[in-house]
């Protein structure tokens, strides 16, 4: 990455000097010994059973290919997307804490340092404000940085660069400056990490004109949307979920093709239905599908929409579904006030109010900082049974909450 920057910018410029100053600190950080690394047992360390001609980094046997070739974890999907985009475009580079020598805190960047070298996979010091600013400056000059936050909670240290520098520059320059940068990392609640490491930032960043906000659920989402984000000329906030990294999803030959890319701003109907629409994103899509299966046994046909993109929001798909089912349940794990569900509800009220046969049901995280205790944490995050109850209320299959108060 530094080599590219020198050729594009010249070593005498401010950005080049910053990058050169960063290298010794990054090298010092990389020299640390991670004793836990040898003990770590990760699903990513298992043999990756995908066609070796498509994925030369995969370890697989001929017998195994037929068994698991049709599935891929979210971790593998993200890794392969980064690998292919870096291979296709030398201006793409990855930077962040522990992305190189340690191969990523969640092993998303495994193998990339060996393949592309420290100029394009850059370990940074623990200074989000610093390396995010460097990434935005590199994007100003035509490079395509992928900035990894170990958790999006840490992006608050760099939020000025993300919003005031990246998001607004195209508008403030009358379209003369593009900022092709991706900010990616785990978002939302994990497990037992407390209030300061459990926030969902979908609504935060979706509030800002100039940003695109993507929220993958499956391996197909992760692979196709990350490729789209890297190729996009504008800044993209890419919100992953730590608990989904090890989840395996079926993938088609089309998804495995290096040219595969998903459109930004287009939702996916994961399951068709006729009685109630359930909108969800990221990990909550899986919960919605589980709830839909339970509802089907009780005669309720639920349509599940995987939003994929929070900004831009696919209002057309949402409204078309509501006009068919006449009922809506919105689902998110973030705080309820000014949330994604509130925006979806308003969109339906504006465009499809006369089609509603029941009040909109909104399911969100509790309006409190995330508790640390496991039992309280579960109560603070939406559960499958919450979705089932809300869908029944919308379909008048249960006693309204007000009647039981």
Which residues are marked as active site? 128, 197
Q: What is the dihedral of CA 184, 348, 189, 108, to 10 degrees?
A: -30
Q: H or E element: which one contains 93?
A: strand 92-96
Of residues 340, 348, 343, 342, the one with CA closest to residue 319: 348
Round to whole Å and give the CA distance between 166 and 185: 17
With CA atoms as reference, report the closest residue to 392 among 295, 277, 261: 295
Alpha-carbon span 332 to 335, nearest angstrom: 8
Structure tokens at 219: 């391996």
Q: Which residues of 355-370 are buried (b: 16+ CB within 10 A; e: fewer)?
A: ebeeebbbbbbbeeeb
71 forms beta bridges with: 250
Beta carbons of 100 and 109 less than 8 angstroms apart: yes
What distances in angstroms separate CA 3 from CA 94, 118, 119, 120, 140, one per listed residue?
A: 14, 10, 6, 9, 17
Distance CA 404, CA 144 (A): 55
Q: Which of 360, 316, 359 is nearest to 339 (CA)?
A: 360
CA gap 117, 69 in Å, rounded: 29
CA 321 to chain centre: 24
**Rounded distance between C-alpha atoms, residue 101 and residue 104, angstroms:** 8
- Residue whose tokens read 């046969």: 357
Distance of CA 273 to the CA centre of its chain: 26
- One DSSP character per residue, 120-138 reads TEEE--S-HHHHHHHHHHH
């Amino acid at each position: 990455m530094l080599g590219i920057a020198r050729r594009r910018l010249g070593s005498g410029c401010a950005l080049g000097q910053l990058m050169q100053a960063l290298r010794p600190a990054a090298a010092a950080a990389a020299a640390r010994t991670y004793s836990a690394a040898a003990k770590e047992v990760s699903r990513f360390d298992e043999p990756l059973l995908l066609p070796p001609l498509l994925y030369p980094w995969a370890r697989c046997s001929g017998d195994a290919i037929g068994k698991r070739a049709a599935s891929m974890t979210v971790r593998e999907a993200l890794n392969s997307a980064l690998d292919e985009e870096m291979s296709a475009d030398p201006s793409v580079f990855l930077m962040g804490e522990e992305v190189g020598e340690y191969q990523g805190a969640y092993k998303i960047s495994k193998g990339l340092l060996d393949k592309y070298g420290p100029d394009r996979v850059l370990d940074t010091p623990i200074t989000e404000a610093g390396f995010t600013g460097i990434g935005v400056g590199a994007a100003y000059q035509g490079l395509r940085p992928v900035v990894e936050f170990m958790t999006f909670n840490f992006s608050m240290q760099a939020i000025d660069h993300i919003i005031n520098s990246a998001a607004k520059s195209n508008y403030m320059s009358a379209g003369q400056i593009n900022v092709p940068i991706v900010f990616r990392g785990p978002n939302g609640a994990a497990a037992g990490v407390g209030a300061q490491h459990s926030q969902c930032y979908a609504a935060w960043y979706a509030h800002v004109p100039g940003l695109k906000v993507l929220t993958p659920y499956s391996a197909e989402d992760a692979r196709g949307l990350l490729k789209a984000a890297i190729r996009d000329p504008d800044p993209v906030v890419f919100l992953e979920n730590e608990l989904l990294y090890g989840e395996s999803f079926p993938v088609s030959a089309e998804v495995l093709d290096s040219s595969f890319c998903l459109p930004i701003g287009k939702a996916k109907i994961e399951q068709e239905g006729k009685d109630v629409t359930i909108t969800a994103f990221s990990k909550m899509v899986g919960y919605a599908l589980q709830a839909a299966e339970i509802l089907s046994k009780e005669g309720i046909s639920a349509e599940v929409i995987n939003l994929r993109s929070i900004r831009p929001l696919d209002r057309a798909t949402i409204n078309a579904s509501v006009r068919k089912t006449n009922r809506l349940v919105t689902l998110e794990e973030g705080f309820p006030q000014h949330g994604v569900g509130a925006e979806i509800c308003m969109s339906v009220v504006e465009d499809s109010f006369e089609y509603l046969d029941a009040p909109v049901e909104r399911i969100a995280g509790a309006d409190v900082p995330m508790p640390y205790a496991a039992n309280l944490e579960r109560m603070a995050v939406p559960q499958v049974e919450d979705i089932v109850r809300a869908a029944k209320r919308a379909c008048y299959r249960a006693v309204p909450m007000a009647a039981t108060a």
